[in-house]
C-alpha cells in the first residue's frame, strides 16, 4: 500500500505540512473561513462608521450655525417643531404619498 503513494506523501515533513495546512484552513479557531467572515463584517462596520461620522459632522455644522445665527434658529424652530408667533396662523401642507 505504501508503494502506491507518491514520494511526496512518504516524506514525514510534507505529510506534517499538509496536515498543518488542513488544520489551519478548516479546524483552527482562527481558520480562513472565520477570518473571511470577520473581514467582511469589519468592512461593513467601517462603512457604517464613516456614515455616522458624516452625520455627526453635519449635525455639528448645523448646531454651530444655529447657535450663531438667530434667523436660522427661528427658521429651524418653525420648520422642525412647527413653532409660531402668537399673532400668526400656522398652516401645515402635506403631500399625499
- For the chain, 97 residues long, the average pLDDT of each consecutive 10-residue run is 74 89 84 89 98 97 88 83 79 81
Instruction: Give 19: exposed, middle or buried? Use CB within 10 Å, 0-12, 13-18, 19+.
Output: exposed
State the Cα–Cα distance between residues 65 and 35, nearest whole angstrom: 45
Does residue 36 sit in helix, strand or coil?
helix
pLDDT at 41: 97
Maximum Cα interatomic distance, the chain, rounded to a whole number of Å: 103
Distance CA 55, CA 64 (A): 14
Q: Is the pTM of this model over 0.85?
A: no
pLDDT digits (tens, 9 = 90+) for 49-75: 999 999 999 999 988 988 898 888 888
Residue 1: predicted pLDDT:
63
The pLDDT value given to residue 59: 93
Amino acid at each position: 500500500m505504501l508503494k502506491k503513494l507518491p514520494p511526496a506523501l512518504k516524506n514525514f515533513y510534507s505529510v506534517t505540512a499538509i496536515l498543518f495546512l488542513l488544520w489551519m484552513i478548516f479546524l483552527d479557531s482562527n481558520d480562513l473561513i472565520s477570518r473571511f467572515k470577520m473581514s467582511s463584517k469589519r468592512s461593513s462596520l467601517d462603512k457604517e462608521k464613516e456614515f455616522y461620522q458624516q452625520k455627526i459632522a453635519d449635525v455639528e455644522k448645523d448646531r454651530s450655525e444655529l447657535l450663531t445665527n438667530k434667523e436660522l434658529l427661528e427658521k429651524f424652530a418653525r420648520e422642525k417643531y412647527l413653532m409660531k408667533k402668537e399673532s400668526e396662523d400656522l398652516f401645515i401642507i402635506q403631500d399625499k404619498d
